[in-house]
Structures are given as C-alpha cells and as structure tokens.
Structure 1
C-alpha cells in the first residue's frame, strides 16, 4: 500500500485489535478539539448543542469541527440528531459512553483548580524574525562603541 494511502485515514482510529484499550482511548482523545467538544457537551444546559453553537464555543473551524464530530459519532461518544433537512440543522449530545467521561473531566477540573495556578507559565515564543529581533533589542541595553 502506498504511504499516501495510509496517511489519508484518521490517525485517531484505534486499531480494531488494539491490545491496550487505554492506548486506543488516549489516541482518540488526544485529537485536537475532541476534549473541548466533550467538555462543551458535558456543560450544555440541556445536554445538546447545535453545530454552530459548538463551533462558537470552542473556536474550531467548521471543517475541523465536522470532522471531529463525525469521529466522535463513529466511536459512539456523540449522538447526532437531525432536526431539519432544509436548512440542515443538527443537535449533538453525548451518548452514555460520552457521559461516562464526566468523572474524568471533574478530576481534571479539580486538579487544575488546585495545581495549575502553581505551574510556571511558559514564555511565549516569538513568531518570526522581526519579533525575535525586537525581543532581543528590548532585553539588551543600547550599547555605544
């Protein structure tokens, strides 16, 4: 199989015969936006949110959001309910498997509340050479030779 054909499949797909279910779950959950999507749905007032509402809340671009929601739906974490064909409207809610993640998020929230304020905040890295030179010129006093 050509290398390009392999890379077209989602890297978050756990192998069907994965010997370690924890590794498979972590592989799924590590995908960007997945944890934020689950958190948003856990915190939804009525347990469901529309596509646009989810996008606004977590800040994901629509194609990425659609991709992650489809991934979570395939894995049985999210349930999609089509509410209108024209215009297309859907609500997303967590399945029982998704709701079972609530204690995990509660534990993360507890840990973050107690610990995160004591963790060092990394310095932001300069984005380009101009910012790098500006940063170094600010930190070095003007020298006359």
Structure 2
C-alpha cells in the first residue's frame, strides 16, 4: 500500500480535508448526534435542543445536506413542516462521532485539570 503523504496526493488530500472539516465543525457534530439519537427532528426542535441560532442551524443543515449526511423533507402544510433525518451516510458518520463524544465525556475531569494547570502557569 502506498504512503499517502500530503505531497503525494494534493487533490485527494484537499477533498479529504473538506470532508474532515465536518468533524472539526462542532455544530455539524452536534446536529449529527442529535438526529442520531431520535431519528427525525423538525427545525425548531433541533434549534431548541442545541441552543443554536436560526442562521447557524440553517447553514449547518444545508452543508450536511450537501454532503449527503442529512435528508430534508418538506411537507405541504400551513405553516410548512420541514423534517430532518440522517441518511445512511450520516448514520455511518455518527458512529465514530459517538466514540469521540464518549471519550470526551470520560476524560472531562482530566481535561479540566490540565486546563486549570495550564491557565495557572500563564496567570500566576
């Protein structure tokens, strides 16, 4: 198997970087986890659940839909009803995110302690 360092695959690495940006985007991660937990949510349910602004949620959902991770369904009703759910691709992305979230939860005390020690060194 060939080593794929950045110098060897500039186009592929650029594409992978854009996909991994979803992992680095905390709102995308939180939306994926929220939908993974319940299956289908309406826009305002997600907004309340996450404590996110309407604009940021709209942008995040649009990007996740563009990436094929979230499906948007619009129902003819007054007022219009819009539901969001994970696609199979989004569900597969949720699996490693759950593992990272569990790791973060299990290590919160250690991380808080390290942060406090670091801050104390900077601000004696």
Bin the TM-score by the shorter chain. 0.7 to 0.9
Q: Hey, what does 1:41 align to over in structure 2?
A: 35
Query: CA separation in 1, counterparts of 2:27 and 2:71?
Result: 17
| Alpha-carbon distance change, 31 to 115 in structure 1, aligned in 2, over 3 angstroms | closer
Partner residue, 1:73: 65
78-87 or 91-100, which deviates more: 78-87
Q: Which residue of 2 aligns with 1:54?
A: 46
Show structure 1 runs of 4+ deviating over 4 A: none
Q: Does 1:97 align with 2:89?
A: yes
Alignment deviations for residues 78-105 of structure 1 (CA, whole Å, 9 cap, x no partner): 0001123421211100001100023212
Q: Note the residue ranges of structure 2 that are not aligned, 5 or more in a row.
A: 1-9, 117-124
Q: CA deviation at 1:25?
A: 1.6
Asked which structure has the greater CA Rg, the reply is 1
Q: Comparing 81-90 with 67-76, which one deviates more in the overlay?
A: 81-90
Q: CA RMSD in A?
A: 2.0
CA contact (8 A) 1:34 1:68 kept: yes
- List gaps (5 residues or longer) in structure 1: 1-16, 124-145
TM-score where L is the length of structure 1: 0.64
Matches within 5 A, 1:114-133: 114-121=106-113, 122=115
Query: How many residues align structurally?
Result: 105
Shift of 1:28: 2.9
Q: Which has the higher contact order (CA 8 A, sep 6+)?
A: 2
